């Protein structure tokens, strides 16, 4: 298991339940019971996910003995976003290439359409 910060962040995000927990926390603090509700999952199973998120620094938990509310900590997500930043030009370039290709196809279709129309006109003459 790699121990660098970015790997820990990405590993924590590599689970749909953990991402859903983070999404829930965007609307405010929540207790483990509240977080468990939508998942039809046992409290220990949810607690396990929370531990992974806490170790990754993606959530913080209150210190009240009875109610230890969880809240989102976005710092590691910022680092992940900064890592992705350098790849942005690649998907933008891919999009540009796709766009260019589609433009080419459309131009060809128009040309073909015009030729067909021209042929019809020729026949009508």
- Applying CB under 8 A, the span of 27-35, 36-44, 81-89, 105-113 interacting with its own copies comes to 81-89
Answer yes or no whether residue 87 interacts with its own copies by CB under 8 A. Answer: yes
CA angle 96, 14, 39 (to 5 degrees): 120
Answer yes or no whether residue 21 interacts with its own copies by CB under 8 A. Answer: no
- Per CB under 8 A, contacts with its own copies among 45-74 are 72-74
Q: Which is nearer to its own copies, 61 or 73 (CB)?
A: 73
Q: Which is nearer to its own copies, 7 or 118 (CB)?
A: 7
Torsional sign, CA 16, 62, 43, 26: negative
- Applying CB under 8 A, the span of 31-39, 41-49, 84-92, 110-118 interacting with its own copies comes to 84-92
Cα–Cα dist 99/93, whole Å: 10
Number of chain residues interacting with its own copies (CB under 8 A): 33
**What token pair was written down for 71?**
């809240």
Cα–Cα dist 100/7, whole Å: 36
Count how many residues are written for the chain.
125
């Amino acid at each position: 298991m790699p121990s660098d910060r970015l790997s820990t962040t990405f590993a924590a995000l590599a689970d749909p339940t953990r991402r859903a927990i983070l999404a829930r926390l965007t609307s405010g603090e929540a207790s483990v019971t509240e977080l468990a509700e939508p998942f039809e999952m046992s409290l220990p199973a949810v607690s396990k996910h929370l531990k992974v998120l806490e170790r990754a620094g993606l959530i913080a938990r209150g210190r009240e003995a009875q109610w230890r509310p969880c809240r989102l900590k976005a710092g590691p997500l910022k680092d992940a976003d900064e890592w992705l930043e350098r790849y942005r030009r690649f998907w933008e370039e891919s999009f540009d290439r796709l766009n260019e290709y589609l433009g080419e196809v459309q131009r060809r279709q128009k040309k073909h359409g015009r030729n067909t129309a021209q042929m019809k006109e020729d026949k009508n003459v």
